[in-house]
């Protein structure tokens, strides 16, 4: 039997997920994943994948930093071996990755990252060593000049000496010695600077011969005068090498001390990286976390095979293992039976590996001790096995290994041999598996197997839907009834001559034709019923949407009405308060006038003016304006009674000047000069109302509250503060304010408690709360008005 991981293509899924790994260790861990057989283990892995998904794509956290595997580097360093620059850099990269992974998970205060916190808690790092290696080593074979003061001094001396040597040798290239040289270049032999001298002039250049060219025409001579400088340079280079070795050895000892921590870091980071990769794969395929059980229940909602193009794949709903143990799926060829079969097995294996599955929420899967499958053409030329023989061997192994905690997937059992015998074998195998308590899915074209599923308890039929009009599969699984293979219709669509198709249909047995007719009729009836049901549901959704719109509009109008009413109420209170304040001001001025010891005529006139203004205040009942008739200047005579509009009082004419249209009028003891346009005929006296009570004006001398949004009662007693708060709220309501603040301080808390008790009983108050941080906290109460 083919390995189920290969048959169900789990290896391809793992390879796709491993592509998201940032480290070689993480990639190896993903590729080495194997399904577990306990729900607790699988759920633990799924939880870490879910946390990684939250960190990467919701909180915006980072990933594991890439690093090269260390291998035996920590162990060698612990034994005292001096590491190379490259090996030390690799160790620093691992330390950096551990530090970043640890701090990255803890940079978010989220309870949903508990698993990743526990996993990264095992990490070790040494930021000082990491920084020191980074500063001292510039490349795989390059140590920084500033790795130590001694190294900096040595390299400075080496550079200066090199310049001196090259400067002196350059003189040979341009001076009289130029004719002795084979080439105008400075070269190096044995780490020492030399000149390429023609062999015939080797005695003309005094110095040490280091080498000879292959042709013998050139000898390489170190001039005598730079011999000492080369010796000095060589000494400096040896000192530099010793200093470099010392620095590397010192860093290697530090790495060796962390051997255990580094090896653990590599393991933990690889594991963390594997979960990040699983999270990224879940995001790429729009996967969800399935619910898991150990009871063999598999219920997939809108599942899509992860290897199919998500833009064209049709979601499938599959259920098995609850009401029935085996599902027998039938239907047209190329209708999606095998893909659905593989998807169910693959989803169970993926979930058992801690991988999300591309399905909808509500998907439930089971973990099994074994997932066994027999599908495809298993013909083996090397083993001299036919297709039928290979399937029989697979079925034999399934029957031997399967038990109540197994999931069995068989694609068209009994194929490759005589159809009658194949159907019998398929029925017998399904009956045996059912007796073992297995769960599974079987695809078939055999009518007898569909009938067997009808009449056997624990089995259920399912069909892949087929559009009879367009003669194409719909790739949707319908559970509850078998499906027709529609082979003849498909042959007709693919171009087989119609007469051949009709001849083939005539060769079918009457029982087969009757079964196919019944199956197709049932399927067509079901499709029509579903269409009618969908139309009814669409109509229901439409009316529900309309009802929702009406309810929202009704609520909006109610709010508008309430808002207008509150605004009108506040405006009326504002007008009353304004007019009351005006009346109080006028009364105050009148009292001030009458408080004087003596009154002048102007005081009386001012008092009467104030009285008239007071009479016009909106606090009193509004009177109809007097209808005044201007006097006729030509008929005006001394002694006439007239009404003075400017004073609002009656008077008697003393004298008249018609040319200037001017008259002298006495009002009480006051004589006033008036123009004709300010004189009116005396109006008829008004009859007093019989039942109207006299108007009483009461002056409110209470202090008015500020128009601010805040009332400060700190330092006042409860008896003093409560009335002031109530007056403040009156003013806030009149100004149509929605939110105000009462500052009462903290103190003993009595004043705050008394104000809160009053606010609870106040109908104008919608709600109140203590101040937040920055608002005064418990020393302030924020009030929201209705």
| SS3 readout for 135-163 | HHEEECCEECHHHCHHHHHHHHHHHHHHH
Which segment of 138-142, 202-206, 241-245, 754-758 scores lowest on mean pLDDT? 202-206
- Rounded CA-CA distance 360/289 in Å is 9
CA end-to-end distance (rounded Å), the chain: 77
pLDDT at position 381 over 60:
no
Task: State pLDDT tens for residues 224-237.
Answer: 778 888 888 889 98
| pLDDT of 144 | 92
Task: Tell the residue number behind the tokens 């990255």, with chain if given.
Answer: 104
- Using alpha carbons only, what angle is made at residue 698 by residues 695 and 699, rounded to the nearest 5 degrees? 140
What tokens were used for 172? 């040979």
Task: State pLDDT tens for residues 579-598.
Answer: 777 777 777 777 776 776 66
| pLDDT of 383 | 44
| pLDDT of 708 | 67
| Per-residue pLDDT band at 694 (split at 50, 70, 90) | very low
Task: State pLDDT tens for residues 403-456.
Answer: 999 999 998 888 777 778 888 898 999 999 999 999 999 998 888 888 888 888
**Buried b / exposed e along 669-683 (16+ C-beta atoms within 10 A):** eeebebebebbbeee
| pLDDT of 489 | 65
- Helix (H) / strand (E) element for 173: namely helix 149-174
pLDDT at position 672 over 60:
yes
- Determine the distance from the C-alpha atom of residue 221 to the mean position of all C-alpha atoms in its chain, rounded to a whole number: 74
| pLDDT of 493 | 66
Do residues 611 and 590 lie in contact, with contact meaning Cβ atoms separated by under 8 Å? yes
| pLDDT of 603 | 67
DSSP-derived secondary structure for 313-358: PPPEEEEESSS-SEEEEEE-TTSSHHHHHHHHHHHHHHHHTT--BS
- Helix (H) / strand (E) element for 271: namely helix 259-284
pLDDT at position 479 over 80:
yes
pLDDT at position 177 over 90:
no
What tokens were used for 133? 């290696």
| Per-residue pLDDT band at 732 (split at 50, 70, 90) | confident
Do residues 651 and 672 lie in contact, with contact meaning Cβ atoms separated by under 8 Å? yes
User: Strand 765-770 vs strand 218-223: parallel, antiparallel, or unpaired?
Assistant: unpaired
Cβ neighbours of residue 423 under 8 Å, at least 6 residues apart? 414, 446, 448, 449
pLDDT at position 494 over 80:
no
Could you tell me which of 269, 353, 354, 355 has the C-alpha nearest to residue 23? Answer: 269
Strand residues in 348-467 grouped as ranges (E):
364-366, 370-374, 406-411, 439-443, 459-467
Backbone angles phi and psi of 329, in degrees to 5? -100, 125
Give the HSE-up count for residue 150: Cα atoms under 13 Å, Cβ half-sphere.
Answer: 12
What tokens were used for 734? 């009149």
What integer is the mean pLDDT of 319-323?
A: 92
pTM: 0.61
Q: What is the mean pLDDT of the chain?
A: 83
The 3-state DSSP class for residue 782 equals strand
Cβ neighbours of residue 692 under 8 Å, at least 6 residues apart? none
Helix axes 447-455, 419-436, angle to 10 degrees: 30
Q: How many CB atoms lie within 10 A of CB 297?
A: 17
Radius of gyration in angstroms for the set of CA atoms belonging to the chain, rounded to a whole number: 52
DSSP state of 414: T
Task: State pLDDT tens for residues 54-103.
Answer: 999 999 887 899 999 999 999 999 999 999 999 999 999 999 999 999 99
Cβ neighbours of residue 465 under 8 Å, at least 6 residues apart? 331, 335, 473, 474, 475, 476, 477, 478, 483, 523, 527
Could you tell me which of 354, 273, 268 has the C-alpha nearest to residue 34? Answer: 354
Q: How many CB atoms lie within 10 A of CB 521?
A: 10
What integer is the mean pLDDT of 294-308?
A: 93
pLDDT at position 705 over 70:
no
Higher pLDDT, 409 or 744: 409
Cβ neighbours of residue 516 under 8 Å, at least 6 residues apart? 484, 508
Task: State pLDDT tens for residues 248-290.
Answer: 999 999 999 999 999 999 999 999 999 999 999 999 999 999 9
With 0-12 / 13-18 / 19 or more C-beta atoms within 10 angstroms meaning exposed / middle / buried, residue 567 is exposed
pLDDT at position 751 over 70:
yes
| pLDDT of 703 | 43
| Per-residue pLDDT band at 684 (split at 50, 70, 90) | low
Cβ neighbours of residue 86 under 8 Å, at least 6 residues apart? 140, 141
Do residues 645 and 612 lie in contact, with contact meaning Cβ atoms separated by under 8 Å? no
- Using alpha carbons only, what angle is made at residue 417 by residues 462 and 419, rounded to the nearest 5 degrees? 50
pLDDT at position 28 over 90:
yes
What integer is the mean pLDDT of 167-174?
A: 79
- Rounded CA-CA distance 285/359 in Å is 9
DSSP state of 685: P
pLDDT at position 742 over 80:
yes
| pLDDT of 298 | 95
pLDDT at position 618 over 50:
no
- Longest CA pairwise span in the chain (Å): 159
- Helix (H) / strand (E) element for 241: namely helix 227-257
Give the HSE-up count for residue 408: Cα atoms under 13 Å, Cβ half-sphere.
Answer: 32
- Using alpha carbons only, what angle is made at residue 291 by residues 289 and 294, rounded to the nearest 5 degrees? 135
């Amino acid at each position: 039997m083919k390995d189920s991981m290969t048959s169900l293509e789990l290896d391809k899924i793992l390879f796709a997920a491993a592509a998201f790994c940032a480290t070689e260790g993480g990639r190896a861990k993903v590729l080495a994943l194997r399904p577990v057989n306990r729900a607790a283990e699988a759920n633990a892995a799924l939880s870490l994948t879910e946390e990684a998904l939250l960190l990467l794509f919701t909180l915006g956290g980072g990933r594991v930093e890439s690093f090269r595997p260390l291998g035996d580097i920590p162990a060698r360093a612990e034994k005292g071996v001096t590491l190379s620059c490259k090996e030390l850099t690799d160790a620093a990269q691992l330390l950096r990755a551990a530090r970043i992974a640890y701090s990255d998970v803890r940079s978010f205060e989220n309870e949903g990252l508990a698993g990743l916190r526990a996993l990264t808690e095992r990490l070790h790092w040494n930021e000082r060593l990491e920084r020191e290696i980074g500063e001292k080593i510039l490349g795989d074979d390059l140590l920084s000049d500033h790795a130590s003061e001694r190294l900096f001094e040595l390299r400075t001396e080496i550079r200066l000496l090199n310049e001196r040597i090259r400067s002196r040798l350059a003189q040979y290239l341009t001076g009289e010695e130029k004719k002795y040289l084979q080439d105008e270049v400075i070269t190096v032999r044995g780490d020492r600077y030399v000149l390429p001298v023609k062999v015939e002039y080797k005695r003309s250049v005094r110095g040490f011969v280091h080498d000879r060219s292959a042709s013998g025409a050139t000898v390489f001579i170190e001039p005598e005068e730079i011999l000492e400088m080369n010796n000095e340079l060589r000494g400096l280079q040896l000192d530099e090498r010793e200093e470099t070795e010392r620095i590397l050895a010192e860093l290697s000892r530090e790495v060796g001390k962390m051997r255990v921590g580094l090896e653990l870091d590599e393991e933990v980071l690889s594991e963390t990286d594997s979960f990040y990769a699983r999270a990224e794969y879940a995001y790429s395929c729009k996967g969800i976390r399935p619910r898991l059980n150990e009871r063999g229940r598999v219920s997939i909602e809108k599942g899509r095979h992860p290897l199919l193009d998500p833009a064209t794949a049709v979601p499938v709903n599959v259920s098995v293992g609850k009401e029935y143990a085996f599902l027998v799926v039938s239907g047209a060829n190329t209708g999606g039976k095998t893909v659905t079969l593989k998807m169910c097995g693959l989803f169970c294996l993926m979930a058992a590996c801690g991988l999300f599955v591309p399905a909808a929420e509500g998907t439930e899967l089971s973990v099994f001790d074994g997932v066994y499958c027999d599908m495809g053409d298993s013909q083996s030329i090397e083993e001299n096995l036919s297709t039928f023989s290979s399937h029989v061997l697979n079925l034999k192994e399934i029957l031997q290994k399967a038990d109540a905690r197994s999931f069995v997937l068989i694609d068209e059992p009994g194929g490759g041999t005589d159809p009658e015998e194949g159907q019998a074998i398929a029925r017998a195998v399904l009956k045996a598996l059912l007796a073992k308590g297995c769960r599974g899915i079987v695809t078939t074209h055999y009518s007898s197997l569909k009938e067997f599923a009808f009449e056997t308890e624990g089995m259920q039929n399912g069909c892949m839907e087929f559009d009879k009009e367009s003669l194409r599969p719909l790739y949707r699984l319908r559970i509850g009834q078998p499906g027709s293979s529609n082979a003849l219709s498909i042959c007709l669509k693919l171009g087989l001559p119609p007469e051949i198709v009709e001849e083939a249909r005539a060769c079918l047995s009457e029982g087969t034709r009757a079964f196919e007719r019944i199956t197709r009729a049932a399927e067509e009836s079901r499709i029509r019923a579903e269409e009618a049901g969908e139309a009814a549901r669409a109509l229901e959704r439409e009316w529900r949407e309309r009802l929702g719109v009406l309810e929202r509009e009704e609520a909006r109008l109610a709010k508008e009405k309430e808002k207008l009413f509150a605004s009108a109420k506040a405006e009326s209170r504002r007008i009353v308060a304004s007019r009351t304040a005006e009346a109080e001001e006028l009364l105050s001025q009148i009292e001030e006038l009458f408080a004087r010891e003596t009154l002048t005529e102007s005081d009386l006139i001012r008092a009467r003016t104030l009285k008239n203004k007071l009479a016009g205040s909106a606090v009193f009942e509004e009177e109809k304006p007097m209808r005044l008739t201007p006097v006729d200047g030509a008929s005006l005579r001394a002694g006439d009674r007239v009404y003075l509009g400017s004073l609002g009082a009656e008077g008697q004419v003393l004298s008249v000047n018609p040319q200037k249209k001017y008259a002298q009028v006495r009002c009480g003891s006051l004589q006033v000069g008036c123009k004709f346009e300010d004189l009116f005929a005396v109006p008829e006296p008004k009859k007093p109302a019989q039942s109207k009570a006299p108007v009483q004006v009461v002056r409110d001398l209470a202090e008015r509250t500020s128009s601010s949004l805040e009332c400060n009662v700190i330092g006042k007693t409860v008896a003093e503060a409560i009335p002031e708060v109530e007056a403040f709220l009156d003013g806030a309501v009149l100004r149509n304010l929605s939110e105000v603040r009462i500052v009462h301080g903290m103190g003993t808390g009595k004043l705050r408690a008394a104000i809160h008790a009053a606010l609870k009983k106040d109908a104008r108050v919608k709600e109140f709360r203590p101040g937040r941080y920055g608002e005064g906290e418990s020393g302030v109460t924020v009030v929201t008005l209705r």
